[in-house]
Structure 1
Amino acid sequence: MFALLKAACKAPVRTAAALATAAMLAACGPMPSGGGFGGPALQPGDPVKVALLVPQNSGTSGDAVLSQSLENAARLAMSDLEGVEIDLRVYDTGGNAATAQSAANRAVVEGAQIILGPVYAGEANAAGLAASQGGVNVLSFSNNTSIAGGNVWVLGHTFENTGQRLAQYAVSHGKPRGVIAYSTDVQGQTAATAVRDAVARAGGSIVAEVPHEFTQQGVVNAVPQIKSAVETNGADALYLTANTAGALPLFSQMLPEQGISSDTTQFVGLTRWDIPSQTLDLPGVQGGWFTLPDPNRTAQFNSRYGAAYGSAPHPIASLAYDGIAAIGALAAQGRGLGAGDLTQGAGFQGTGGVFRLLPDGTNERGLAVATIQDRQVQVIDPAPRSFGGAGF
């Protein structure tokens, strides 16, 4: 999940599918306290001025393609709006915090009423600080919850959201005693914290934890420790924070060889186990649980994007669509772009289903719980279609 970190907060950890935006970085400076700004007023009938900040000329491989895909998705969302006109202006951040700050400053001066992006954690933090001077809110493509708050929201999928969905499902389906296996890098520790908190909120308990180094030998050494932790503590769920580009393939092979699998102890994955498709062949993922956005909605977006642009969207391009969809929905309702508007309890409909922005700058997405049977993905608990308008 924590796939795209750089700029002043550099050191990317990329997943195989690059399904998330920026990696956790505690070193980034804090955003202003509070719950965002009231935002510039929207005048009925006037175009909503949206600044899209992308790392077009960062020099990093793939960023130009990513940037174009984000813009394409934003414009696709604009074409779906009824009765709302968006004045979209694109600004290049260069993939670094200093340029992102300048771009945000320029966007505010040029009348931006809200900022969509940037991608990376350091950029988003810097852009948020700059935009705060003009009372403008920022919907970043990051999933780094350490930069969330003040006038910055993260649109990316977070471990907190995933952990909450999985823990509630596991505990309510007779799997209350969990073991966490996690790497000691930032991604692993962040995921472990999310699981810890989520299981406690769901009424379950974490009976043991097995941290391991983010190396092949570290994973090998962890396998007998995991086996012992599961058997000694009578665990009925094993939460694996690893992704397909990291330790998951090794765990998937070695744990069943030691007699630990979803047949005896439910495997629960904090990352997407269906991407890339080769992951479906791994022995240990069979019968495991993980989350994904509403697959029907996702397929519809991918199909429409492909028809419009002749290629598949970048894995995080959907976040740009979601941002425009939220902005357009508020404008259509005659609301503004202030914190109270952005955090409306009912949320918004996006490419993967319903989502909402929370007052602390994070987000909640309606996720489906899925499993893998005979190397095929099966949804075992559909994504919710609404939040029922619940407040906070």
Structure 2
Amino acid sequence: MFAILRTIRKPLRLLLLPIFAILLSACDPAALGGLGTAGGPKIDPNAPVPVALLIPRGGSASDNLLAKNLENAARLAIRDLDGVQIDLRVYGTAGKASTAANAAAQAVADGAKIILGPVYGEAANAAGHAAAPAGVNVLSFSNNTTIAGGNVFVLGATFDNTANRLVSYAKRAGKDKIVVLHADNIGGQLGRNAIQQAIAANGATLSGSVEYALSQEAVRASVPKVKALMSTTGANALFMTANSATALPLLADLLPSAGVTNASSQYIGLTRWDIPAQTLALSGIQGGWFALPDPAPSAAFASRYNAAYGERPLDIAGLAFDGIAAVGSLVKSGKKNALTGAALTQGAGFKGASGIFRLRADGTNQRGLAVATVRNNQVVMLEAAPKAFSGAGF
């Protein structure tokens, strides 16, 4: 589930929580076949296009809050579609995989040409399996790339995308000898894998990795290992998977005390270091780098949502806006095959709530991210998010 954190809790409690609560286990999407590169139903671009929205309505209080935000954002996006008519049909999943599968099957039976959602990885995987026989593509709100492929796409920001953006920047900035510090749970391991792949792809050097269990003792024990590894390898950057809900506050205290500082060992974070805002006050992360969505469109979306609904949106709400924006852009082309996998993965991408994004044939996505640092407890931009895609990357 998505954690909405208001304050930074004490480290002991933090370390009892998972690093990436959004990640859920899922089945192998390979069984869904190759729809991601070609398939999808034909549409009538001159008539309202039936679009199913699967949200966790009917689940817990937090699920219902997510559901409300997603539906609101989808309807906000529909208002922007000049000349494109969307017949939005909303289905509740209660946050459960079995319910999501039934909802997807019902949506297909009701004539849906594409499915947006659901949120959780297992539910999205189940919805993908249910929709696959009809050739209907699923744009899920998950960031779990293990479910991507076939007719299932993930719209959520992925570790691969973030890691690649930051390693690319680090390489160009001369911080190209990198040690990875990660937790030993699934989130930490997936984060480590993404960082290592980005290091290889960008021609940087992996100087080693240090793993820790989610306990104060284990985190403390990892610090001298990091220091020794940085020293023996000559590494000049430390890429961490921890966030403010787990080990980051403790590491931000222990690492500088041990002599591993941003001055000699550039800190890089896989997660947002500006959420919650109190994270920016951690003295140890001052000067550290992290990635975030394009601030201008993100602020504009939040402002429009607030004006329409009287409250600020959750970050995930933008994914529903993105899904509708992509569908609307493709349908506007007037082509009957506008919602096939081949169309969804067109290289130019789309403009969404937080900037540009595009879907890839393997079901993952690329998003235009900015690189920022923390100075005097404030976010300072180092490199703006790209405004357009070029070639296979950016």
Coarse TM-score class (shorter-chain normalised): over 0.9
- Closer/same/farther in 2, CA of residues 131 and 24 from structure 1, 3 Å limit: same
Per the alignment, residue 75 of structure 1 pairs with 75
- In 2, the alpha carbon distance for the partners of 1:189 and 1:106 equals 36
TM-score by length of 1: 0.93
The structural deviation recorded for 1:316 is 0.3
- CA distance in 2 between counterparts of 1:63 and 1:3 reads 9
Q: How far off is 1:388 after superposition? A: 3.0
Whichever residue aligns with residue 57 of structure 1, its letter is: G
Asked if the contact 1:24/1:187 (under 8 Å) is kept, the reply is no
Q: CA deviation at 1:100?
A: 0.6
Deviation, 1:14, is: 6.2
1: CA distance, partners of 2:196 / 2:273: 21
Report the equivalent of 1:368. 370
Question: Is the 1:21–1:143 contact (alpha carbons within 8 Å) kept by the matching residues of 2?
Answer: no
| Cα distance in 2 for residues equivalent to 1:373 and 1:171 | 21
Distance 2:25 2:310 in 1: 35
What letter corresponds to residue 209 of structure 2 in structure 1?
E
TM-superposed CA distance for 1:363, in Å, is 0.2
User: Residue 63 of structure 2 contacts residue 94 of structure 2 at CA under 8 Å; is this kept in 1?
Assistant: no
Task: State the partner residue of 2:384.
Answer: 382
Counting only pairs closer than 5 Å after superposition, residues 1-392 of structure 1 correspond to structure 2 as: 3=2, 22-25=22-25, 30-36=30-36, 38-58=39-59, 60-335=60-335, 336-388=338-390
Q: What's 1:9 paired with? A: none
Q: Using the alignment, how far apart are the partners of 2:45 and 2:315 within structure 1? A: 34
Q: Percent identity?
A: 52
Cα distance in 2 for residues equivalent to 1:21 and 1:118: 16
2:10 aligned residue: none
**Code of the aligned partner of 2:368:** G
* Residues 181 and 26 (structure 1), Cα distance of their counterparts in 2 relative to 1, 3 Å cut: farther
Shift of 1:48: 1.2
Distance (Å, rounded) in 2 between the aligned partners of 1:265 and 1:218: 21
Distance 2:274 2:192 in 1: 21
CA contact (8 A) 1:31 1:147 kept: no
Equivalenced residues, count: 379
Q: Deviations over 1:73-94 (max 9, x none)?
A: 0000000110101100100112
1:61 Cα deviation after fit: 3.3
- Letter aligned with residue 188 of structure 2: G
Native 8 Å contact 2:26 2:121 kept in 1: no
Offset at residue 227 of structure 1 (A): 1.0
Q: In the aligned structure 2, how far is the partner of 1:369 from the partner of 1:114? A: 33
> Does the residue aligned with 1:77 lie in a helix, a strand or coil?
helix
Match of residue 7 from structure 1: none
Cα distance in 1, alignment partners of residues 21 and 144 from structure 2: 8
Report the Cα offset of residue 28 of structure 1. Answer: 5.8
- Cα contact 2:291–2:369 (8 A) shared by 1: yes
Tell me the alpha carbon deviations over residues 183-221 of structure 1, each in whole angstroms, 9 at most, x when there is no partner: 000000000000001011110111111001022221111
CA distance in 2, matches of 1:376, 1:150: 42
Amino acid in the other structure paired with 1:114: I
